[in-house]
Amino acid sequence: MNHDLLSNFGDHLNIAVVGASGGLGRAFVKLCVTQPNVSSIHAFSRSRAQFKSEKVKKHEIDITSEASILEAIASVGNTLSFDVVIVATGFLHDDSVSPEKSICELSLDNLHKVFLVNTYGPALVAKYFLPRLQRDRKSVFACLSARVGSISDNRLGGWYAYRASKAALNMILKNAAIEIARRHKQTCIIGLHPGTVDTSLSKPFQRQVQNGKLFMPEYSTACLLTVINNVTSKQSGKVFAWDGKEVPP
């Protein structure tokens, strides 16, 4: 395991992972613990995910509730600034919601449920967490997005709500990048495409994945942390895949 994945940042880093109980969120926390220049990892989740390291500070959050997000950021205190914020939440399906194959399958309830987690929640996290980023050195705010949120790369159709929610998230990140650049000159706001990862989100669709293209969470997060390490403020507002390549809008 690479123990120098955040070498382009300074020392004594404070990192926030929102969605720390999920497959990718948990892997992000565990990987950040191993980085020598990380002082604290603030793990936000609905269930207060358990971690053994003393570096990890656990906080409750429900990204579908603005009041909960406000309470969560207040729980870290007024003086802490983050070097990296990773929003590792996402929703594709559950027992009542499946990706649509046809527009005839759309429903208002399902659209709202998907957008609530994939778009509205991360947008409100940005509202309260962006002001807490470091201003005097490099800082990164990164949200898990998806290649299927690319409008120009959409050649298959389907998955209406999920695609649209990620496309909307990408626009929010672009807007925020333009605004934050006026005050935080060294901040970079990006979306991240993790590839197809062996988590509960992808389970029903893994048979369609090519050999060698289904990643373990540990591999995907190591790749994404490398992307976070390498991006600059000039690349703010863009979406990058696990391999460092830009995902077209």
pLDDT digits (tens, 9 = 90+) for 115-136: 999 999 999 999 999 999 999 9
Give the whole-number percent of the chain exceeding pLDDT 90: 86
Q: So what's the pLDDT on residue 39?
A: 97
In a domain, residue 121? The reply is: yes
Number of structural domains (the chain) is 1
Q: So what's the pLDDT on residue 95?
A: 85
Q: So what's the pLDDT on residue 21?
A: 94
E-strand stretches of 6-126: 13-18, 38-45, 56-60, 84-87
**Considering only CA atoms, which of 73, 77, 24, 20 is closest in space to residue 50?**
20
| Residue 206 pLDDT > 80 | no
In a domain, residue 187? The reply is: yes
In a domain, residue 7? The reply is: no
In a domain, residue 86? The reply is: yes
Amino acid at 32: C
Cα atoms found within 13 Å of the Cα of residue 71, Cβ hemisphere only: 12
Close Cβ partners of 39 (under 8 Å, ≥ 6 residues apart): 12, 13, 14, 55
Rounded to 5°, the CA angle 158-164-170 comes to 135
Q: So what's the pLDDT on residue 147?
A: 95
155: containing domain:
13-247
pLDDT digits (tens, 9 = 90+) for 148-199: 999 999 999 999 999 999 999 999 999 999 999 999 999 999 999 999 887 7
**For residue 158, what is the domain's CATH number?**
3.40.50.720
In a domain, residue 20? The reply is: yes
In a domain, residue 19? The reply is: yes
